[in-house]
């Protein structure tokens, strides 16, 4: 890929049948205007030209729910959830890692670059959610808190469908022994999400862990897309891939869900 040209072509929005009742899409880097290290549909303001980011966000929203107000939070790898009742300006986005709403016309978005995006929908209650789930958020319970916030709006976890979107796969996610102990010390059953590697290291299945946590919390339908962000340079941004390549920056993709 020529990173000086950006990613041409239409926006790619991956969907899943379990979320068919809501407008949604797991987007990658295709279809944007950013160039260089951020080439494509980068939606983060942290490193890119703000005009490029704003245009990419506009394109992302139009690809999923045209005319909706796209809302994201200032993500901090926490279990914190915001219940959205009215839109805010990008500059005023709250510090949190998940959003829920029952309001039509609001498009909830979470940014990722290896972390797992999770989109939620209870079609009977008309309640949706979106969570940014890295390892800190996952073990900290961000998906649990998202489900509870949805239930406060009338959802029922047995009716909720949750889909884990593109994230770093186990084959690409090497961690050290201290990382593994963080999980197994609190719950020995989590050992099943680690595969032994070279001395003092293992390979962590973030996607599998998040899905199992959702199912264990009573979510009625849990699905995974199974796309590895690290291994697909032309489709997805990846913090770890950029770090391994010694690059000075990296972009973020967005996953979106809204009620029509």
182 domain-assigned = no
Total of domains in the chain:
1
pLDDT digits (tens, 9 = 90+) for 116-133: 999 999 999 999 999 999
Which residues have a Cβ under 8 Å from the Cβ of 229 and sit 6 or more positions away? 112, 113, 114, 166, 167, 168, 236, 237, 238, 241, 253
pTM for the model: 0.96
- Write down the residue that tokens 């986005």 correspond to: 93
What is residue 9's predicted lDDT score, i.e. its pLDDT?
80
251: DSSP letter: -
Any domain includes 104? yes
The answer on pLDDT for 53 being more than 60 is yes
CATH number, domain containing residue 150: 3.60.140.10
200-228 tens-digit pLDDT: 999 999 999 999 999 999 999 999 999 99
Residue 126 lies in a domain: yes
pLDDT tens, residue by residue, 68-80: 999 999 999 999 9
Residue 70 lies in a domain: yes
Evaluated on CA atoms 91, 97, 101, 105, the torsion sign reads: positive
What are the respective helix, strand and coil percentages of the chain, to the nearest 5? Answer: 30, 25, 45
Q: Is residue 184 part of a domain?
A: no
Q: Is 193 helix (H, G, I), strand (E, B) or coil?
A: helix
229 inside domain: yes
- Residues 64 and 225: their CA atoms lie apart, in Å, by 17
Q: How confident is the model at residue 7 (pLDDT cuts 50, 70, 90)?
A: low
- Write out the residue range of the structural domain in which residue 138 sits: 13-169+205-258
| 120 part of a folded domain | yes
Residue 50 placed within a domain: yes
């Amino acid at each position: 890929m020529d990173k000086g040209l950006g990613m041409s072509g239409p926006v790619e929005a991956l969907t899943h049948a379990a979320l068919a009742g809501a407008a949604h899409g797991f987007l990658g880097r295709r279809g944007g205007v950013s160039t260089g290290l951020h080439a494509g549909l980068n939606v983060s303001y942290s490193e890119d030209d703000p005009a490029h980011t704003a245009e990419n966000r506009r394109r992302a929203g139009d690809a999923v729910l045209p005319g909706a107000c796209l809302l994201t939070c200032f993500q901090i790898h926490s279990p914190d959830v915001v219940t959205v009742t009215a839109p805010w300006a990008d500059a005023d986005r709250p510090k949190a890692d998940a959003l829920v709403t029952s309001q039509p016309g609001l498009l909830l978005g979470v940014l990722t670059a290896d972390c797992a995006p999770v989109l939620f929908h209870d079609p009977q209650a008309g309640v949706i959610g979106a969570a940014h789930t890295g390892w800190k958020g996952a073990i900290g319970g961000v998906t649990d808190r998202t489900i509870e916030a949805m239930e406060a709006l009338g959802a029922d976890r047995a009716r909720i469908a949750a889909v884990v979107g593109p994230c770093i796969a186990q084959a690409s996610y090497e961690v050290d022994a201290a990382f593994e102990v963080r999980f197994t010390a609190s719950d020995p059953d989590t050992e099943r999400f680690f595969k032994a590697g070279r001395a003092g290291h293992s390979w962590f299945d973030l996607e599998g862990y998040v899905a199992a946590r959702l199912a264990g919390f009573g979510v009625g339908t849990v699905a995974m897309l199974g796309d590895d962000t690290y291994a697909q340079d032309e489709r997805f941004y990846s913090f770890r891939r950029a770090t391994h390549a010694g690059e000075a920056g990296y972009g973020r993709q967005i996953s979106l869900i809204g009620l029509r």
